[in-house]
Amino acid sequence: MWKILAFAAGVGTGTAVLADEQAGFTSVATETCLIAMVESQNPTSCIGASANLCMETTEGGWSTYGMSQCLDQELQYWDGRLNAAYKTVRTKRKASDTEMAELGSAAPSQGDALKNMQRAWIAYRDATCDYERSQWGGGTGGGPATVSCLMYMTAEQALYLEADGLVD
């Protein structure tokens, strides 16, 4: 969980190769980073790579407004992945519930437990990012810091829900 720290340090890894490729936002840097991951590495280290490249290649990308825009675009990217992964897991878990019910099992519902988890995660995400915003008082850094926090947390949850173990 390196939400606030990664933001403070400016997340500079894995972006230089693609720096001159294209101005504005593209998710390529994040995807390239994820593909290059090996077992011992943490895929969460790829979060923010595209937003960072966007800041480097966009005119005014390092302004408060520019950072917020770039971070928000990567947030939207991860949000799409999160929603897709959630739907896949939900379909799988509900099918499993149906199967268990047909077998007469009294096992607790996986679909309900999934929904409870996701609700609890949303509350946790919001409260954590509120806390991170509070670090900035009324300062202008609060905007990008909040978007950065949302981006990291959304990405982490997307990667969690994309894990094979949840759909096997």
User: By CB under 8 A, is residue 98 in contact with another protein?
Assistant: no
Stretch that binds another protein, among 3-11, 26-34, 47-55, 80-88 (CB under 8 A): 3-11
Structure tokens at 2: 């390196």
User: By CB under 8 A, is residue 138 in contact with another protein?
Assistant: yes
Closer to another protein by Cβ: residue 40 or 59: 40
How many residues make up the chain in this entry?
168
Q: How far is the CB of 78 from another protein (least distance, A)?
A: 18
Q: How remote is the C-alpha of 117 from its chain's centroid?
A: 16
User: By CB under 8 A, is residue 90 in contact with another protein?
Assistant: no
User: By CB under 8 A, is residue 166 in contact with another protein?
Assistant: yes
Instruction: Give the footprint of another protein on this chain (CB under 8 A).
Output: 1-5, 8, 13, 40-42, 44-45, 107-110, 113-114, 116-117, 119-121, 123-124, 126-128, 130-131, 133-135, 137-138, 165-166
